[in-house]
Amino acid sequence: MREIFSEELEDLHVRFSEMGMLVNEAVYNSVKAFVNHDRELALEVIQNDEAINQREVDIEKRSFEMIALQQPVTSDLRMIVTIMKASSDLERMGDHAVSIAKSTIRVKGNTRVPEIEEDIAAMADIVKQMVEDVLDAYVKKDEQRARKIALQDQQVNEAFKTIYDKCIDEMKNDPQTVIGSTDYLMVGTYLERVGDYVTNICEWIVYLKTNKLTELNTNNQEMM
Amino acid sequence: MREIFSEELEDLHVRFSEMGMLVNEAVYNSVKAFVNHDRELALEVIQNDEAINQREVDIEKRSFEMIALQQPVTSDLRMIVTIMKASSDLERMGDHAVSIAKSTIRVKGNTRVPEIEEDIAAMADIVKQMVEDVLDAYVKKDEQRARKIALQDQQVNEAFKTIYDKCIDEMKNDPQTVIGSTDYLMVGTYLERVGDYVTNICEWIVYLKTNKLTELNTNNQEMM
Average pLDDT over residues B110-121: 90
Optimal mutation site among B82, B173, B224, interface A, most CBs of chain A within 10 A? B224
- CA-based nearest residue to A195, from A42, A56, A92, A88: A92
How far is C-alpha A122 from the chain's CA centre? Answer: 16
Average pLDDT over residues A27-45: 94
Confidence of residue B192 (pLDDT cuts 50, 70, 90): very high
**Cβ–Cβ contact A88 with B under 8 A:** yes
Contact B61 A213 (CB under 8 A): yes
Assess whether pLDDT exceeds 90 at residue A55.
yes
Rounded Cα–Cα distance for residues B210 and B142 (Å): 11
Report the residue from A85, A99, A168 with minimal CB separation from B85.
A85
Average pLDDT over residues B200-223: 76
Confidence of residue B220 (pLDDT cuts 50, 70, 90): very low
Residues B5-29 have pLDDT tens digits of: 899 999 999 999 999 999 999 999 9
- CA-based nearest residue to B216, from B224, B206, B208, B139: B206
Q: Which residues in chain A are contacts of B94 at CB distance < 8 A? A: none
Residues B53-107 have pLDDT tens digits of: 999 999 999 999 999 998 899 999 999 999 998 999 999 999 999 999 998 887 6
Segment A21-24 long-range contacts (CB within 8 Å, at least 24 positions apart): A21/A135, A22/A48, A22/A51, A22/A52, A22/A55, A22/A94, A23/A52, A23/A90, A23/A91, A23/A93, A23/A94, A23/A97, A23/A131, A24/A128, A24/A131, A24/A132, A24/A135
Task: Give me the number of domains chain B comprises.
Answer: 1
Confidence of residue B110 (pLDDT cuts 50, 70, 90): confident
DSSP letter assigned to residue B137? H
Contact B78 A64 (CB under 8 A): yes
- CA-based nearest residue to A122, from A94, A90, A156: A156
- CA-based nearest residue to A131, from A96, A162, A80: A96
Distance from CA of B192 to the nearest CA of A (A): 12
Optimal mutation site among A30, A67, A82, A85, interface B, most CBs of chain B within 10 A? A67
Tell me the longest C-alpha to C-alpha distance in chain B.
Answer: 69
CA-based R_g, chain B, Å: 19
Q: Is the ipTM of this complex over 0.90?
A: no
Distance from CA of B125 to the nearest CA of A (A): 22
Report the residue from B49, B186, B223 with minimal CB separation from A224.
B186
Average pLDDT over residues A206-224: 70
Average pLDDT over all residues of chain A: 91
Search chain A and give the residue with CA nearest B100.
A224
Q: Which residues in chain B are contacts of A49 at CB distance < 8 A? A: 219
What integer pLDDT is reported at residue B101 of this predicted model?
95
Contact A77 B67 (CB under 8 A): yes
Looking at residue A113, which CATH number applies to its domain? 1.20.58.220
- Domain span including residue A146: 2-221
Assess whether pLDDT exceeds 90 at residue B217.
no
Confidence of residue B218 (pLDDT cuts 50, 70, 90): low
Contact A168 B179 (CB under 8 A): yes
Phi, psi (deg, nearest 5) at residue B106 = -75, -40
What integer pLDDT is reported at residue A224 of this predicted model?
47
What integer pLDDT is reported at residue A221 of this predicted model?
42
**Cβ–Cβ contact B216 with A under 8 A:** no
What integer pLDDT is reported at residue A72 of this predicted model?
93
Residues A63-108 have pLDDT tens digits of: 999 999 988 999 999 999 999 989 999 999 999 999 999 988 876 6
Assess whether pLDDT exceeds 50 at residue A167.
yes
Distance from CA of A98 to the nearest CA of B (A): 8
